[in-house]
Amino acid sequence: MSGSDSVVINTRVKGYTSRVLGVVKEKFGLRDKGQAVDKIAEIVGDEFVEREAKDEYVRKILAIHHEHVKKHPGGRMSDKELDELCGM
Containing domain of residue 34, as a range?
A: 3-85
Q: What is the mean pLDDT of residues 6-18?
A: 93
Average pLDDT over the chain, rounded to an integer: 88
pLDDT higher than threshold 90 for residue 22: yes
pLDDT score of 53 more than 60: yes
For the chain, what percent of residues have pLDDT higher than 90? 50
Q: Which stretches of the chain are DSSP H helices?
A: 15-27, 33-44, 55-71, 79-85
User: Kindly report the CA angle at 13 between 9 and 16, in degrees rounded to 5?
Assistant: 140
pLDDT band with cut points at 50, 70 and 90 for residue 68: confident
Distance CA 22, CA 27 (A): 9
How far is CA 49 from each of CA 1, 28, 41, 42, 56, rounded to the nearest angstrom? 17, 23, 10, 11, 20
Reported as a pLDDT band with limits 50, 70 and 90, residue 74 is: confident
Q: How many domains does the chain have?
A: 1
Q: What is the pLDDT of residues 32-50, one digit of tens each?
A: 999 999 999 999 999 999 8
